[in-house]
């Protein structure tokens, strides 16, 4: 693993961005990694169809925590349409790691949670 990336991942793991909970979120989504049972919840506050605030709470390994923290930074102030376009490739590029199938599940859990929240929204906020 490249030392620079390793350092960035450890930084996000130790000092995660946007960790917490939003009272009365417009979107909230939760899921677990089926391989290990670790959990991830993402809350979003939406204003004018854009992310006004994002918080996550997750229990898991360094890769999953760092990926979730990075993902929350990636979507700050993004529109819901822009979020729908974020794919595995973008998140994995941000992580900067080559991951095997098990670690891939760790890294992508947050994206699955985010997407299911964004796509699952019933009343589109205005
Ligand atoms: Fe559980 Fe990575 S080992 S999320």
Beta carbon of 64 within 6 Å of any ligand 1 atom: yes
- The residue-averaged pLDDT of 20-37 equals 95
Q: Which of 60, 97, 112 to mutate to test the pocket of ligand 1 (most atoms within 8 A of CB)?
A: 60
End-to-end CA distance of the chain: 43
Q: Cα(17)–Cα(34) distance, rounded to whole angstroms?
A: 25
Q: Which of 16, 35, 58, 69 to mutate to test the pocket of ligand 1 (most atoms within 8 A of CB)?
A: 35
What is residue 120's predicted lDDT score, i.e. its pLDDT? 87
Beta carbon of 33 within 6 Å of any ligand 1 atom: yes
- Over the stretch 61-75, which tens digit does the pLDDT of each residue have? 999 999 999 999 999
Residue 50 has pLDDT above 70, yes or no: yes
Query: What rounded mean pLDDT belongs to the chain?
Result: 92
pTM of the model: 0.91
Beta carbon of 36 within 6 Å of any ligand 1 atom: yes
Locus of tokens 């929204």: 121
- Over the stretch 79-126, which tens digit does the pLDDT of each residue have? 999 999 999 999 999 999 889 999 999 999 999 999 999 998 554 444
60 CA → ligand 1 middle, Å? 5
Number of CB atoms found within 10 A of residue 81's CB: 10
Q: Which atom of ligand 1 is nearest to the CA of 61?
A: 2
Topology classification of domain 2-119: Sufe protein. Chain: A (3.90.1010)
- Specify whether the CB–CB gap between 43 and 56 falls below 8 A: yes
- Specify whether the CB–CB gap between 38 and 58 falls below 8 A: yes
Backbone angles phi, psi at 102, to 5 degrees: -70, -50
**What are the residue ranges spanned by the domains of the chain?**
2-119
Backbone angles phi, psi at 6, to 5 degrees: -60, -40
């Amino acid at each position: 693993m490249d030392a620079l990336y390793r350092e960035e991942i450890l930084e996000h793991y130790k000092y995660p961005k946007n960790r917490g909970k939003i009272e009365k979120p417009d979107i909230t989504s939760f899921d677990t990694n089926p391989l290990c049972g670790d959990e991830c919840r993402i809350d979003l506050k939406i204003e004018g169809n854009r992310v006004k605030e994002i918080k996550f709470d997750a229990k898991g390994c360094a890769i999953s925590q760092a990926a979730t923290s990075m993902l929350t930074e990636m979507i700050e102030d993004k529109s819901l349409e822009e979020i729908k376009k974020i794919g595995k490739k973008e998140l994995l590029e941000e992580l900067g790691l080559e991951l095997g199938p098990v670690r891939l599940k760790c890294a992508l859990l947050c994206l699955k949670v985010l997407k299911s929240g964004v796509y699952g929204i019933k009343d589109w906020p205005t």
